[in-house]
Amino acid sequence: MADMTPEQFQKAQLRGEARLRGPLAESAHYDAGRGRLIVRLVSGVEIGFPPALAEGLEHATAADLAVIEVDACGLGIHVPALDADLYVPALLKGVLGSEQWMAARMGAKGGRATSAAKAAAVRENGRKGGRPRKAAAG
């Protein structure tokens, strides 16, 4: 790895300081009664979400969520039983996993979506013998 210039170091230091001024977690726990992972920020704001919505926690049990740690800076949440990590600033943006993981979840959700227009298109395709076959590459 190449050495950093003083200017690069100063920019990196400023980015780090800015992150530490952002939303930081103070504590986190699983509320079994509500079925939600609750993250309390240093500002007093609490956010909660079903663990099944977060990457790495999809199949978590209450026992898996008995211990939830906040990293020393407050930027991360760690679930030791599952070796799962969540990034607090991303949670506040509704990002509950990696870009690839989120895209796969959205794709699955879109495939299940129903509407009157979609139902009508399916019926029309059915009258025509179903979805047209793709032409064979030749």
Residue 99 has pLDDT above 60, yes or no: yes
Residue 111 has pLDDT above 70, yes or no: no
pLDDT in tens, 49-95: 999 989 899 999 999 999 999 998 899 999 999 999 999 988 887 76
CA 118 to chain centre: 28
Note the pLDDT of residue 113.
Answer: 58
Domains of the chain plus CATH, in order, are 7-97 (3.30.2020.40)
Provide φ and ψ at 10, rounded to 5°. Answer: -65, -40
- Give how far Cα 33 sits from Cα of 4, 53, 63, 74, Å: 50, 17, 13, 25
| Three-point CA angle 105, 54, 27, nearest 5° | 160
**Mean pLDDT score, 107-133:** 70
- CA-only gyration radius of the chain, Å: 22
Note the pLDDT of residue 120.
Answer: 76
pLDDT confidence tier of residue 105, bands split at 50, 70 and 90: low
Nearest CA among 110, 112, 106, 43 for reference residue 97: 106
Note the pLDDT of residue 43.
Answer: 85
Q: Check the CA dihedral 79-107-126-134 and report its sign.
A: negative
Provide φ and ψ at 95, rounded to 5°. Answer: -90, 110
Is the pTM above the cut of 0.75? no
Residue 114 has pLDDT above 90, yes or no: no
Mean pLDDT of the chain: 82
Give the Cα separation of 82 and 16 in Å (integer): 28
